């Protein structure tokens, strides 16, 4: 088969990190399909400008004709599907966008992939892979002393976002069991790192702190998440694509359970160290507790034993090392932050947090 892969959503946070990391260690051509909505950003791919191995195509996974054309033209041996609406708060305000992209879009991508796969020579069919990137949020919420999510946990999504991702996971599974398509699914914990759009907790904290704005913390700040450095996640996906068992699901986690308020304190302390406030006070003074969002899951935690046992993957970064790299990246790239903070993004941010003040 040709040495090309299709990566959908490859200009977003995780997708662009995956594309950059992939081409840093492989000569395989990447066909990067992204519709460049608010979170897609070509600046994330600036290092690849002029690189013939990177072919960017503007468009969405819901465009069946375009997706089919890409399969026909480039004859990929794999698809890695990052394309998704992915922010819980946005799903509360605009759930239909999540239904259209995460469910209908995934269905149309699967259909195009199935048609292409069915047309492959028998010798190539077994080498093809459709890897679907999902989230731990499909499993719902854990109590304080519950064991972490494993791949066999039942699905109990609690937001329009997680429900739409759960539906997409079920579609991928169904295409394997019904049609025999060689699929793989990964469910990850909270990612952080470079190119993270500043509506999410860590980059929002950094941007607001430096702009002398409040650092909004939902509820009591005791919501617990497992944090995974984005390059570790990308390495896990590459390993699953390379050696994962067809039809299987692999949870990718960072083994870093932390409460949101502890994350806020750590970021403030790193900024106090690296970029002190002019008045000598701590950034912690900017912390403001705001009304919790509806249906806010209390705890997520990933059991990443299966991927380590079967495929030998485990995260290279601790939270302490990863968060230092992340803060340093944002401090070194203020232009990137300024450029993604468009008027539309500012309007949404004001709407979301003004309702909770």
Catalytic residue IDs: 136-137, 161
Question: Are 345 and 199 spatial neighbours (Cβ–Cβ below 8 Å)?
Answer: yes
| CA–CA gap between residue 160 and residue 337 (Å, rounded) | 28
CA distance 168 to 103: 5
The H or E element spanning position 172 is helix 160-179
Q: 55: closest CA among 21, 19, 81?
A: 19
| Backbone torsions φ then ψ of 132, nearest 5 degrees | -105, 125
**Residue 282, Cβ density class (10 Å: 0-12 exposed, 13-18 middle, ≥19 buried):** middle
Count other Cβ atoms within 10 Å, centred on residue 284: 15
Strands 224-229 and 190-192: parallel
Note the maximum CA span of the chain: 69
7: its two tokens: 């990566």
Structure tokens belonging to residue 321: 């090392």
């Amino acid at each position: 088969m040709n040495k090309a892969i299709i990566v959908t959503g490859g200009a977003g946070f995780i997708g662009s990190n995956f594309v950059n990391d992939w081409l840093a260690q492989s000569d395989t051509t990447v066909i990067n399909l992204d519709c460049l909505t608010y979170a897609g950003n070509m600046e994330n791919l600036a290092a690849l400008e002029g690189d013939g191995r990177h072919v960017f195509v503007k468009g969405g996974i819901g465009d069946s004709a375009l997706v089919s054309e890409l399969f026909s033209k480039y004859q990929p041996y794999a698809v890695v599907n990052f394309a998704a609406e992915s922010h819980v708060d946005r799903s509360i305000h605009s759930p239909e966008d999540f239904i259209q992209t995460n469910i209908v879009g995934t269905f149309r991508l699967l259909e195009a992939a199935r048609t292409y796969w069915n047309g492959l020579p028998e010798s190539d069919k077994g080498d093809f892979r459709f890897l679907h990137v999902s989230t731990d949020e499909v499993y719902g919420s854990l109590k304080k002393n519950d064991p972490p999510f494993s791949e066999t946990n039942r699905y109990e999504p609690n937001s329009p976002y997680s429900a739409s991702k759960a539906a997409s996971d079920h579609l991928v599974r169904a295409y394997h069991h019904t049609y025999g398509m060689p699929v793989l699914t990964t469910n990850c914990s909270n990612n952080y790192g470079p190119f993270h759009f500043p509506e999410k907790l860590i980059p929002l904290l950094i941007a607001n702190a430096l702009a002398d704005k409040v650092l909004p913390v939902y509820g009591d700040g005791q919501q617990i998440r497992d944090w995974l450095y984005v390059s570790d996640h990308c390495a896990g996906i590459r390993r699953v694509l390379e050696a994962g068992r067809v039809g299987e699901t692999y949870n990718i986690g960072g083994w870093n359970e932390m409460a949101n308020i502890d994350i806020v304190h750590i970021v403030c302390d790193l900024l106090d160290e690296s970029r002190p406030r002019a008045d000598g006070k701590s950034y912690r003074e900017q912390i403001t507790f705001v009304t919790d969002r509806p249906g806010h899951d209390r705890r997520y935690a990933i059991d990443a034993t299966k991927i380590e046992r079967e495929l030998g993957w485990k995260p290279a970064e601790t939270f302490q090392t990863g968060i230092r790299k992340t803060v340093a990246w944002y401090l070194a790239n203020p232009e990137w932050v300024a450029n993604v903070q468009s008027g539309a993004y500012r309007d949404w941010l004001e709407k979301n947090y003004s309702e909770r003040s």
